[in-house]
Structure 1
Amino acid sequence: MKRYGRTYAEEAGIRLSDRPKPLYQLLVLTTLLSTRISATIAVAAARQLFAAGYDSPEAMRDASWQDRVDALGRAHYKRYDERTSTMLGHSAEFCLEHWGGDLRRLHREAGRDARLLRRLLDEFPGIGPTGADIYLREVQAVWTDLAPFVDRKVFAGAKRLDLPASAEELTGLVGPDELPRFASALVRVSIDRKAADEVRAEVTART
């Protein structure tokens, strides 16, 4: 937690709360994280898009395709910038047409059914099952009825550190309020073996 306990939303400068704008910003970040590109670049790209003013579905829809490409390019979000610009535009239109630009409506539609919510998120262009997991992992900080939400990436990180293999046991290690940050830390460990080795080394040194 000390080394890696920050959510991706926090890194992207999103002040996550149960309001339309930050919930949409998290959707944008999730779309960027869902492509085959490093999380560091995806977070930087989200920051560039938000700095350019594309922090609501209306603003993202109204931005030109080239403006979105340019914002992504400033974060070195290459190879996928043109395709991602198109997806962001379509996703913004979808958000407005189906959910009135307010993802709280999506949450209410799904009730407490995380599986249904996952399917509804999967309908957004550029999200898919992996993206839905990312969104739910982060949004459980404010949609607390979803907690504990732990996906396969979190479990993979836990396995590398010989930690428990159940959501309840992992929550018990840090408490429900810290689970989103703990989950993000474990995701970083799952995708970076060096991070896992660093954590193990620090634990060994303390014991």
Structure 2
Amino acid sequence: MATQKDTVRTLLDRAGRTYADEAGITLADKPSPLYRLLVLSVLLSARISADIAVAAARELSKAGLRTPRRMLDATWQQRVDALGRGHYVRYDESTATALGDGAELLLDNYAGDVRKWRGDNLRKRLRETPKLGPVGVDIFCREAQAVWPELRPHLDRKTLDGAKRIGLPGDADKLAKLVPGNDLARFSAALVRVSLNKELAQDVRAG
């Protein structure tokens, strides 16, 4: 019978890639990658598949919209077109507007630097972002814990659901002890994936 360590090893091997990495974001404590993570979190917040949200984030980056200034300077239609190339079509127009409004807010109030949100008021600052609700805040924090250690362990309800599905503890403190701190972002992303994909969860449990 597989031990918890075996299950974690299999989980990370099969699904341990952060959504930021999948979107082509080399996450670092720098303005541009953190902003791109914020945009990705907005895209992932919609009722749309993660694959489409990730593809849309990649298209926005390919279009050069990697900073709040570049996002704001782009036309609304350019943002819509980039989202469309990623097949983010159900929410492309409203999201294009929200991304422009969010970029403007970030530039006006925080000099375009997400790092100014770091600290006790992070969740409150994140919620100021148009179209970023509680789910999107959790997404950002799960991924940002890779570069902001004070967020660790960020293992929210979605990750706990995934843990239970593959026979791991449904308790954040116990889960956090199963991996090194610098693996928590990968671990949480993998747990989210098994919470969303029954076949993947069965595959992980089977080893």
Q: TM-score over 0.5 for the alignment?
A: yes
- Deviation string 1:115-160 (CA, Å, 9 cap, x unpaired) is x321221111011111000000000111101111111110110111
Q: CA separation in 2, counterparts of 1:146 and 1:200?
A: 28
2:164 to 159, 163, 177: 159
Q: CA separation in 2, counterparts of 1:103 and 1:67?
A: 23
Q: Are 2:65 and 1:54 aligned?
A: yes
> In 1, are the aligned partners of 2:16 and 2:189 still within 8 Å (CA)?
yes
Q: Quote the residue 1:102 is aligned against.
A: 113
Q: Which structure 2 residues correspond to residues 128-207 of structure 1 after superposition, within 5 A?
A: 128-202=133-207
Partner secondary structure for residue 37 of structure 1: coil
Percent identity of the aligned residues?
A: 57
Q: Could you tell me which amino acid in structure 1 is paired with residue 111 of structure 2? A: G
Q: CA separation in 1, counterparts of 2:205 and 2:199?
A: 10
- Structure 1, unpaired ranges of 5+: 203-207
> What RMSD, in angstroms, separates the aligned Cα atoms of the two structures?
0.9
Q: CA separation in 1, counterparts of 2:197 and 2:95?
A: 25
Q: Could you tell me which amino acid in structure 2 is paired with residue 161 of structure 1? A: I
Q: Are 2:44 and 1:44 aligned?
A: no
Q: Are 2:19 and 1:8 aligned?
A: yes
> In 1, are the aligned partners of 2:167 and 2:205 still within 8 Å (CA)?
no
**TM-score, normalised on structure 1?**
0.92
Q: CA separation in 2, counterparts of 1:175 and 1:169?
A: 12
1:168 Cα deviation after fit: 2.3
Q: Quote the residue 1:75 is aligned against.
A: 86
- Deviation string 1:53-111 (CA, Å, 9 cap, x unpaired) is 0000000001000001110111111111111111111111111112110011110xxx3
Partner secondary structure for residue 141 of structure 1: coil
Partner secondary structure for residue 105 of structure 1: helix
1:167 Cα deviation after fit: 2.2
Q: Quote the residue 1:25 is aligned against.
A: 36
Q: CA separation in 2, counterparts of 1:105 and 1:177?
A: 22
Q: CA separation in 1, counterparts of 2:152 and 2:171?
A: 13
Aligned length: 196
